[in-house]
């Protein structure tokens, strides 16, 4: 497992990589999630995009 949903917030969801305990807030409330933000989330959590997309 590469990515887990920690909790939902008013602004999106908090996802975590359980392998390294890194987490970040994904702003799903926005109509457009900028590509650089998306790539930054993947890089911060050290996961692949398929693991993240299951929560979006």
Domain boundaries along the sequence of the chain: 4-53
Report the alpha-carbon distance of residue 2 to residue 22 in Å, rounded: 11
pLDDT at residue 32, rounded to an integer:
61
In this prediction, residue 39 carries a pLDDT of 79
In angstroms, the CA 3 to CA 35 distance is: 19
Give the confidence band of 1 by pLDDT, cuts at 50, 70, 90: low
pLDDT value at residue 13: 85
- Structure confidence at residue 45 (pLDDT): 81
Sign of CA dihedral 7, 37, 54, 28: positive
| 43-47 CB contacts, 8 Å cutoff, 24+ apart | 45/3, 45/15, 45/16, 45/17, 46/17, 46/19, 46/20, 46/22, 47/2, 47/3, 47/17
* Residues 5-55 pLDDT 10s: 788 888 788 888 888 888 888 877 666 666 667 778 888 888 888 877 887
């Amino acid at each position: 497992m590469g990515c887990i949903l920690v909790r939902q917030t008013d602004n999106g969801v908090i996802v975590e990589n359980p392998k390294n305990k890194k987490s970040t807030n994904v702003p799903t409330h926005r109509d457009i999630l900028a590509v650089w933000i998306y790539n930054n989330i993947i890089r911060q959590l050290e996961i692949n995009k398929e693991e993240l997309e299951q929560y979006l």
